[in-house]
Each structure stands twice: as C-alpha cells, then as structure tokens.
C-alpha cells in the first residue's frame, strides 16, 4: 500500500509534497532553507513569543538555524507537519503553522500558527488555518483537531472560532512558561463540524499592514 493510500495519518503526512495546500491568497509549503532570513525577520516579535510556548524573543538567526536543523535531522516520523505560509502574489513568507502530536490511533492532532506583524489583520491567519484544517481532515484523515490558547489571546481565539473550533474547557496550570504554571484554553473541531463563512476583515489593523491584495 502506498503512503498516500494508507489510513495511517503519519504515512499520509510523509507522502505530502509542497505546496501541501493552496487557498485564495496563500500557499502552505514545506519549510525551505532559502527562507531562513525571511522566517527569522517575521517571527522575531515579542507578540509571537508571548503567546506561544517555545518561540523566544529576541529570535536570532541561530534560533532559526537550530529550527531548520531540527526539522532536517529529526527522523521523519510523520508525527508533525511544520509548514510556512507564503503569499502567492509575491512569494512573501507571511508566517508559519502546522500540526503536531499526530495520534494515529485516535486520529487526533494539535494545530499551531503565527504571522509576522506586517501581515496581521488581513484575514491571512483565518485563511491559512482553514487550508490547514481542510488538509488535516481531508487528505491526512484526522478526525479531531485541537488548539491550546493562553488566556487573553483574543486574536487567536477569533481565528479558531472563524474556523469552527469550539471551546471545550480551561486546563488549569497545564504548561510551564518562563518557569511559571499557566492555564491553557482548549479548543477543538471535529471533521464534520460546520465551516463558518470566511469574511474579509473590515479594515487592516496596524500601521505596518501591507496593502490588501
Ligand atoms: C493569532 C494571529 C496568527 C492572528 O493573526 P491575525 O492577522 O489577527 O488574523 P486574522 O487577520 O485572520 O484575524 C483574526 C481575527 O482576530 C481578530 N483580532 C486580531 N487581533 C485582535 C485583538 N488584539 N483583539 C481582539 N481581536 C483581535 C481580528 O479582528 C479577526 O477577527 P474577525 O474575524 O472577527 O475580524 C496573530 O495575531 C499572531 O501571530 N499572534 C502571535 C502568535 C499566536 O498567538 N499564535 C497562536 C497561538 S495559540
């Protein structure tokens, strides 16, 4: 049986080729080393560090190199799918996203995402997460997608609700961040949960937002 036809989501992940998904404005691509500088420039942001578990600030070139080494060296087990979000119009790296902790028995995984500050407020996160979830439920065959959000991350919650995730609870002091226990809000969507219509934001937020394309 070929990987693409296997029911094991990890084998299906290993069979993916770039771009793994394409939406109206974006392509979700396997990370390429030539995008290292662009990735470091986009992710080097205190907002990303604040709302994610492991991204440091400042995020140096050496952090980016270590990330690429990890992606390249880790035996490809298919338990995670790190991706870059690329704007189709100009090939700019907009951010990153992915699925990890893929559980082949329960057909479950966790999603995560970030955008560079210049690319926020234009609906790219909603669009990219929609592409990722469709891929995860479709080609990869996952039944349940989870996301953990730190309390107060309203932009992230909006992205999840816009993609049909529902809040399932608050995991008290579920992780340690900066040496302290932190609560995590658990969101999840199932394969047959409805897809809310994707609407364009009324106006781009933030002075650095690129013009809408
Ligand atoms: C989360 C993140 C990817 C969202 O990016 P974005 O550009 O705001 O996403 P979108 O343009 O698709 O907009 C998402 C929604 O968030 C809303 N939003 C954005 N910032 C907000 C804020 N500070 N307060 C309230 N709502 C906010 C937008 O209005 C939009 O809602 P709408 O659909 O009702 O218009 C981005 O803020 C980011 O990279 N944050 C840092 C990393 C992070 O938090 N990752 C997720 C970890 S769980």
Give the pLDDT score at 207.
37
Counting from 1 in the atom list of ligand 1, the atom nearest the Cα of 47 is 41
Residues 185 and 169: their CA atoms lie apart, in Å, by: 6
Instruction: Let me know: does 190 contact 157? Beta carbons within 8 Å.
Output: no
Helix (H) or strand (E) holding 209: none
Residues 149 and 211: their CA atoms lie apart, in Å, by: 29
Q: Whose CA is nearest to atom 21 of ligand 1?
A: 155
Is 138 a domain residue? yes
User: Which DSSP letter does residue 198 get?
Assistant: P
Cβ of 28 less than 6 Å from ligand 1: no
Instruction: Let me know: does 129 contact 163? Beta carbons within 8 Å.
Output: yes
Contacts of 70 (CB under 8 A, 6+ apart): none
93 Cα–ligand 1 center, Å: 17
Residues 190 and 18: their CA atoms lie apart, in Å, by: 25
Alpha-carbon torsion, ordered 173, 109, 72, 50, to 10 deg: -30
Contacts of 118 (CB under 8 A, 6+ apart): 42, 208, 209, 210
Cβ of 122 less than 6 Å from ligand 1: yes
Counting from 1 in the atom list of ligand 1, the atom nearest the Cα of 147 is 48
Instruction: Let me know: does 116 contact 128? Beta carbons within 8 Å.
Output: no
Is 75 a domain residue? yes
Q: Whose CA is nearest to atom 41 of ligand 1?
A: 48
Counting from 1 in the atom list of ligand 1, the atom nearest the Cα of 201 is 35
Is 178 a domain residue? yes
User: Encoding tokens for residue 57?
Assistant: 């600030």
Is 199 a domain residue? no
Counting from 1 in the atom list of ligand 1, the atom nearest the Cα of 119 is 7
User: Encoding tokens for residue 173?
Assistant: 């002091």
Provide the CATH number for the domain around residue 119.
3.40.630.30
Q: What is the residue-level pLDDT of the chain in tens, covering all 213 positions?
A: 444 468 899 999 999 999 999 999 999 999 999 999 999 999 999 999 999 999 999 999 999 999 999 998 776 788 899 999 999 999 999 999 999 999 999 999 999 999 999 999 999 999 999 999 999 999 999 999 999 999 999 999 999 999 999 999 999 999 999 999 999 999 999 999 999 999 877 655 543 433 333
Residue 158 sits in which domain range?
Answer: 3-190
- How many folded domains does the chain comprise? 1
Is 196 a domain residue? no
170 Cα–ligand 1 center, Å: 20
């Amino acid at each position: 049986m070929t990987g693409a036809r296997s029911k094991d989501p990890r084998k299906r992940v290993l069979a993916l080729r770039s771009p793994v998904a394409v939406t109206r404005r974006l392509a979700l691509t396997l990370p390429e080393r030539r995008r290292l500088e662009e990735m470091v420039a986009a992710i080097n942001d205190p907002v990303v560090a604040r709302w994610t578990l492991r991204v440091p600030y400042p995020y140096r070139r050496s952090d980016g190199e270590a990330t690429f080494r990890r992606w390249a060296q880790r035996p490809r087990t298919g338990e995670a799918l790190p991706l870059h979000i690329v704007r189709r119009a100009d090939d700019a790296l907009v951010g990153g996203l992915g699925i990890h902790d893929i559980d082949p028995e329960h057909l479950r995984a966790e999603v995560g995402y970030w955008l560079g500050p210049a690319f926020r407020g234009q609906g790219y996160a909603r669009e990219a997460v929609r592409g990722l979830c469709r891929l995860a439920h479709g080609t990869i065959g996952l039944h349940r997608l989870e996301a953990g959000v730190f309390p107060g991350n309203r932009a992230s919650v909006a992205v999840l609700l816009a993609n049909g995730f529902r809040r399932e609870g608050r995991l008290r002091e579920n992780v340690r961040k900066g040496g302290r226990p932190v609560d995590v809000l658990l969101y999840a969507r199932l394969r047959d949960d409805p897809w809310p219509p994707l609407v364009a934001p009324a106006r781009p937020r933030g002075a650095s937002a690129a013009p809408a394309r």
